[in-house]
Amino acid sequence: MTQAVAGALDLLMQVAIGLPIPIKLPLPTSTDFDHFFEALGRMRVLIEDEPIPGHAIGHLDQAVLMIQTSMDLIHIAASHDEIEWRYDAVHLHCAAAAANLALTQMILNGQIE
């Protein structure tokens, strides 16, 4: 897992645990990625019921999806040709996830509407 993905996951876990209805994600392990991917999928369903503004839910959902995509791209790159643009895409998706998580936090903290 790249540093970019680890950083995005750390931010996601911080936001998730601070939600009105906290969501605790398991730590990803190299031996049980499927379990972690399922947890991210469940998180996308659970956040729909959070008592937070809809646009915060949208940003949080986008962040989770971008992290899932990043992790999938890493798996593809490791299983096939390690094409540099795949890793560039991982970094791009992680940066977008971090931006969406920052927006989520700003909405939840009342800094923006």
Instruction: Write the pLDDT tens digit of every residue in 27-72.
Output: 777 666 788 888 999 999 999 999 999 999 999 999 999 999 998 8
In sequence order, the 6+-apart residues with CB closer than 8 A to the CB of 93 are 66, 67, 69, 70, 73
**pTM for the structure as a whole:** 0.91
Average pLDDT of the chain is 90
Query: What percentage of the chain reaches a pLDDT higher than 90?
Result: 65
Q: Which long-range contacts (CB under 8 A, 24 or more apart) does 33-41 make?
A: 33/71, 33/75, 37/68, 37/71, 40/64, 40/67, 40/68, 41/68
Arithmetic mean of pLDDT, 60-87: 87
Arithmetic mean of pLDDT, 13-36: 86
Q: What pLDDT score does 110 carry? A: 93
